[in-house]
């Protein structure tokens, strides 16, 4: 028996540990589901199916924002407010992976030192890997494991902000967009897509000499949001100011989030999660088909030669792709 096999727990040990809130076992389970090894994938599926009845009890909140907006500082201060109010908080942070080496720094625990030492908080950094949208490949599965472990609020911090960043919207109940003052330029740079998906905008670093600029930005973003059609939930997105460093305005942010949950109601949230699960299934189908395609011996036999033919212009990329798909 290899050293790796001795470290892997049984299905029952994983399930019992997760349901009892054992964070060591929870971390091991997350590592297991992040693995690409076939035995780990199969065991991970069994664990998730077993703990599924114990999931769904948390408020799922996605947090994204422009680079330099202070996401980590906001989450640390905001997280302290939540745990101080008696909540059990899980923070799923995502670090970008290098496209050259595949490596990732995973430094969020260092940036959230105070929250890392909070007994009512659990921080799990994960690399994006080759996934798009600023979230890790197994963020959804990790979310379910954390819910089963008893965390009633889950924050998902994404890599940055952009059109592909909106993937996080498909796995949370509430989508928070963090911005900075300087609304004229920011408004042009953010584009319509992510603004439409935001359930709220919070302008961070509204302190000191930046207060007036932040108030102006608040008005501009409120005006911009009024141009968008009302969401299916009936909720009208709001704009708030805060300072994570000065610890001001965060209570209003939390009150706004609670107002959202009360406003949309449990039935709408249930329907949204059902639709998200169906979308998740379809994404999984695409992933499995792609994985199976590149594992096909027939495809592997002809892939390199087809790539060369495309490079020298002997065949169009679409025709080459179709021929390879027919082989797979």
Which residue from 260, 221, 257, 212 is spatially nearest to 239, judged by alpha carbons?
Answer: 221
Asked if 177 and 65 touch (Cβ cutoff 8 Å), the reply is yes
Query: Cα separations (Å) of 319 from 182, 222, 293, 298?
Result: 48, 48, 16, 17
What is the model's pLDDT at position 103? 39
Which residue from 219, 282, 211 is spatially nearest to 249, judged by alpha carbons?
Answer: 211
Mean pLDDT of 58-81: 92
Q: How many CB atoms lie within 10 A of CB 142?
A: 23
Q: Does the structure show a pLDDT above 60 at 157?
A: yes
Lowest mean pLDDT: which of 110-119, 126-135, 247-256? 126-135
State percent of the chain over pLDDT 70.
84
pTM: 0.88
Which residue from 88, 142, 148 is spatially nearest to 118, judged by alpha carbons?
Answer: 88
Token readout for 98 is 């290098």
Domain boundaries, the chain: 1-54, 55-264, 283-327
Q: Describe the strand order of the beta sheet including 59-65 as a list of residue ranges.
A: 121-127, 89-95, 153-157, 59-65, 174-179, 200-203, 238-241
SS3 138: coil
Mean pLDDT of 108-129: 81
134: left (phi over 0), alpha (psi -120 to 50) or beta: left
Which residue from 253, 256, 259, 328 is spatially nearest to 295, judged by alpha carbons?
Answer: 328
Q: Does the structure show a pLDDT above 90 at 181?
A: no
d(CA 186, CA 218): 12
Higher pLDDT: 103 or 96? It is 96
Interval 29-59: pLDDT, tens:
999 999 989 999 999 999 999 999 999 999 9
* CATH match for 55-264 among 3.40.50.300, 2.30.110.10, 3.40.50.720, 3.60.110.10: 3.40.50.300
d(CA 83, CA 120): 6
Angle at alpha carbon of residue 257, lines to 256 and 263, rounded to 5°: 85
First to last CA, the chain: 35
Lowest mean pLDDT: which of 78-87, 124-133, 238-247? 124-133
Angle at alpha carbon of residue 170, lines to 261 and 18, rounded to 5°: 80
User: In which band, very low, low, confident or very high, does the pLDDT at 164 lie, cut at 50, 70 and 90?
Assistant: very low
Mean pLDDT of 224-238: 89
Interval 249-308: pLDDT, tens:
999 999 999 999 999 999 999 999 999 999 999 989 998 999 899 999 999 999 999 999
Q: Does the structure show a pLDDT above 50 at 3?
A: no
What is the model's pLDDT at position 36? 86
Mean pLDDT of 127-135: 50
User: In which band, very low, low, confident or very high, does the pLDDT at 101 lie, cut at 50, 70 and 90?
Assistant: very low
The sign of the torsion formed by the CA atoms of 258, 280, 39, 295 equals negative
1-54 folds as: 1.20.5
């Amino acid at each position: 028996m290899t050293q790796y096999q001795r470290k892997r727990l049984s299905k029952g040990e994983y399930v019992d540990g997760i349901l009892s809130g054992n964070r060591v076992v929870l971390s091991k389970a997350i590592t297991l589901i992040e693995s690409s090894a076939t035995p780990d994938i199969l065991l991970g599926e069994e664990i998730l199916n077993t703990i599924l009845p114990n999931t769904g009890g948390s408020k799922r909140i996605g947090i994204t924002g422009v680079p330099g907006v202070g996401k980590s500082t906001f989450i640390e201060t905001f997280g302290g407010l939540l745990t101080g109010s008696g909540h059990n908080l899980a923070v799923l942070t995502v670090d970008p992976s290098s496209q050259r080496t595949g490596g990732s720094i995973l430094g969020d625990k260092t940036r959230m030192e105070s929250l890392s030492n909070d007994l009512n908080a659990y921080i799990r950094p994960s690399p994006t890997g080759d996934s798009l949208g600023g979230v890790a490949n197994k963020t959804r599965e990790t979310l379910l494991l954390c819910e089963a472990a008893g965390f009633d609020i889950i924050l998902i911090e994404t890599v940055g902000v952009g059109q592909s960043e909106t993937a996080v919207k498909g796995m949370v109940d509430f989508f928070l967009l963090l911005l900075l003052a300087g609304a004229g330029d920011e408004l042009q740079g953010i584009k319509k897509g992510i603004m439409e998906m935001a359930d709220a905008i919070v302008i961070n670093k509204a302190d000191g000499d930046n207060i007036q600029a932040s108030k102006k930005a608040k008005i501009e973003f409120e005006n911009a949001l009024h141009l968008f059609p009302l969401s299916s939930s009936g909720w009208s997105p709001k704009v708030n100011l805060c300072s994570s460093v000065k610890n001001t305005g965060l209570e209003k942010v939390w009150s706004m989030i609670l107002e959202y949950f009360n406003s949309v109601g449990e039935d709408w949230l249930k329907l949204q999660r059902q639709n998200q699960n169906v979308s998740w299934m379809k994404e999984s189908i695409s992933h499995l088909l792609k994985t199976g395609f590149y594992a096909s011996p027939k495809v592997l036999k002809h892939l390199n030669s087809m790539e060369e033919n495309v490079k020298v212009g002997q065949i169009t990329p679409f025709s080459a792709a179709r021929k390879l798909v027919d082989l797979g």
